[in-house]
Amino acid sequence: MTDVREFWVAGQLETAEETFEVRAPYDGSHLATVAVTSPEQTERAVAAAVAVGPALAGLPAHRRSAALAHVSRRIAERADEFAQLISNENGKPLKWALAEVGRATSTFQWAAEEARRWSGALQRLDTDPNGEGRMAVVRRFPRGPVLGISPFNFPLNLVAHKVAPALAVGAPIVLKPAPKTPLSALLLGELLAETDLPAGAWSVITVPDARMPELVADPRLPVVSFTGSGPVGWRIRESVPTKHVTLELGGNGAVLVAADWSSPEDLRYAAERIARFSNYQAGQSCVAVQRVYADAGVHDELLAEIVKAVEALRTGDPRDAATDVGPLIDLASAERVEAWVDEAMAKGAVLRTGGQREGTTYAPTVLTGVPADATLAREEVFGPVLFVESVADLTEGLARVNDSQYGLQAGVFTHDMTTAFRAHRELEVGGVIIGDVPTFRADQMPYGGAKASGVGREGLHAAMEDMTVERVLVLSGLDL
């Protein structure tokens, strides 16, 4: 068999007879033929993860840190190669693919640093008479091997957010990348293979989605870290109630522009950020801007600026460095976005710009007057579409942001710290971004949602805690 991309079983390249095709979303061109990991090979990957567990957990911190730092350096050295691959398999414009590579570099570097800081805590127990002479050592240990399931929209950095924290705490990981975008994860395997991590510490397997329930149910994988669609994520959690499952399931990102954000410069800035981060991945980001609520005093001017900024975005071939907005991941996704916009307009929404589909590409779109019962108002569009509505005041604006089954992140444009702290207190989301859109994410900060947006947190230290369990050691007879 020639020209077939191999996968990684316990750190070693392997192939198989069954294959699938990976094609570019923009034009459908062939990118690679990838071998499908067989059930027997999957079993060996899981068994190897279990077998190496004690050795990996006991590996000195400096060795785990060095391996992660090596991967970070090598991603940076091969940045252009990774970016081209991301752009090809995902359809992400090259400028944003390069940004993703930069983030993955930081994610592994943060993991390397956290691995050195992963020390636990001391707690003196002589605060009560019966604790005299006693000290507690509180440390965290891996729950066991991790099953990481990553999505198509960030085929490198969301893989990094599974692999890096697992290895940082000494937990083996079996990674299943999205079938539409496995190439970046397979290339990452080359860099992991350059380290001295023990065999079985990691595998990257190309298992079809139809076989995912078997992996999820495997009792030898007590941690499941899933990023993807809500229905799939909640089914996973319900199917394995005794496992530790973390879910990052998306949202319908809201922005609130407060009355004090009113100067022409303020409104142009907000409009540019809203336009860019509703569309930068063709809207295929869990925290892309979808809903915009503007105080009545600034609504009209803001809307005009948003339309202008959206129309300035260039749509086209993601491999062109000048392209701002590329295609959706496949034709079905583009047709779904088109159907949702058409439905909203049939119910009375007004099209301000965009609204056209050409193959897998959908033009960046702005709507107003979207009724509350439209699918676009209630669900995650995961496409280059936003709508703008006027609110009477801050109270109504916060309520409109909260009127959603989702709660990942929200952006609030305000200069008023009282407003900022009120938003932080009242908004039912995992993160509130002041002075910017909800799309902002620093990879080291805790990241996750409330309500239907999931459970658990990404971000290196937060994910490391999710993958581990506290264990207390009490020392007695001490002269404190």
Q: What is the DSSP string of 156-223?
A: THHHHHHHHHHHHHT--EEEE--TTS-HHHHHHHHHHHTS-PPTTSEEE----GGGHHHHHH-TT--E
pLDDT tops 60 at residue 459? yes
Q: Where are the alpha helices (DSSP H) in 243-351?
A: 264-279, 299-311, 331-346
CB 29 within 8 A of CB 207: no
CA 270 to CA 426: how far, in whole Å?
Answer: 22
DSSP per position, 378-390: HS---SSEEEEEE
- Provide the 3-class DSSP secondary structure of residue 249: coil
Categorize the per-residue pLDDT at 109 as very low, low, confident or very high, splitting at 50, 70 and 90.
very high
Residues 195, 279: one domain? no
Q: Tell me whether residue 230 is in a domain.
A: yes
Q: Tell me whether residue 478 is in a domain.
A: no
Residues 138, 283: one domain? no
* Parent domain of 18: 4-249+454-472
Q: Which of 13, 10, 61, 12 is nearest to 34 (CA)?
A: 13
Ramachandran region, residue 171 (left: φ > 0; alpha: ψ -120 to 50; beta: rest): beta
pLDDT tops 90 at residue 3? no
Residue 294 half-sphere exposure, CB side, CA atoms within 13 Å?
A: 24
Element (H, E) at 423: helix 417-426
Residues 47, 186: one domain? yes
Q: Tell me whether residue 284 is in a domain.
A: yes
Beta bridge partners of 23: 30
Report the pLDDT averaged over residues 305-331: 97
- Provide the 3-class DSSP secondary structure of residue 124: strand
Report the pLDDT averaged over residues 164-176: 98
pLDDT tops 90 at residue 259? yes
Residues 243, 277: one domain? no
Residues 404, 265: one domain? yes
- Provide the 3-class DSSP secondary structure of residue 401: helix
Q: Tell me whether residue 354 is in a domain.
A: yes
Residues 271, 133: one domain? no
* CA distance readout (Å), 370 to 136, 295, 366, 377: 57, 17, 10, 7
The one-letter amino acid code at 473 reads L
- Number of folded domains that form the chain: 2
Predicted pLDDT of residue 1: 43
Report the pLDDT averaged over residues 446-456: 96
Q: Which residues of 453-476 are buried (b: 16+ CB within 10 A; e: fewer)?
A: bbbbbbbbbbbbbbbbeeeeeeee
For the chain, give the mean pLDDT: 97
Listed in sequence order, the residues at least 6 apart from 392 whose beta carbon sits closer than 8 Å to its beta carbon are 295, 296
CA 330 to CA 26: how far, in whole Å?
Answer: 8
Q: What dihedral do alpha carbons 451, 271, 426, 285 form, nearest 10°?
A: 20
Query: What's 238's domain CATH number?
Result: 3.40.605.10
Predicted pLDDT of residue 465: 97
Predicted pLDDT of residue 399: 98
Residue with tokens 């077998």: 51
Residues 236, 379: one domain? no
CB 265 within 8 A of CB 227: no
Query: What's 357's domain CATH number?
Result: 3.40.309.10
pLDDT tops 90 at residue 19? yes
Burial environment of residue 65 by CB neighbours within 10 A (0 to 12, 13 to 18, 19 or more): buried
Residues 115, 220: one domain? yes
CA 252 to CA 404: how far, in whole Å?
Answer: 8
Predicted pLDDT of residue 246: 97
Q: Tell me whether residue 480 is in a domain.
A: no
- Widest Cα–Cα separation across the chain: 77
CA 35 to CA 440: how far, in whole Å?
Answer: 36
pLDDT tops 50 at residue 74? yes
Q: Tell me whether residue 427 is in a domain.
A: yes
Residue with tokens 């081209």: 84
Residues 233, 285: one domain? no
Token readout for 470 is: 């506290």
pLDDT tops 50 at residue 287? yes
Residues 59, 159: one domain? yes
Q: Tell me whether residue 357 is in a domain.
A: yes
Q: Tell me whether residue 477 is in a domain.
A: no
Residues 27, 110: one domain? yes
Report the pLDDT averaged over residues 118-127: 96
CA 285 to CA 197: how far, in whole Å?
Answer: 32
Q: Cβ atoms within 10 A of the Cβ of 451, count?
A: 16
Residue with tokens 């940004």: 99
Ramachandran region, residue 351 (left: φ > 0; alpha: ψ -120 to 50; beta: rest): beta
CA 449 to CA 380: how far, in whole Å?
Answer: 14
Predicted pLDDT of residue 110: 98
Categorize the per-residue pLDDT at 2 as very low, low, confident or very high, splitting at 50, 70 and 90.
low
Residues 224, 306: one domain? no
Report the pLDDT averaged over residues 64-78: 98
Predicted pLDDT of residue 249: 95
Burial environment of residue 425 by CB neighbours within 10 A (0 to 12, 13 to 18, 19 or more): exposed
Token readout for 284 is: 């295929």
Q: Which residues are catalytic?
A: 248, 286
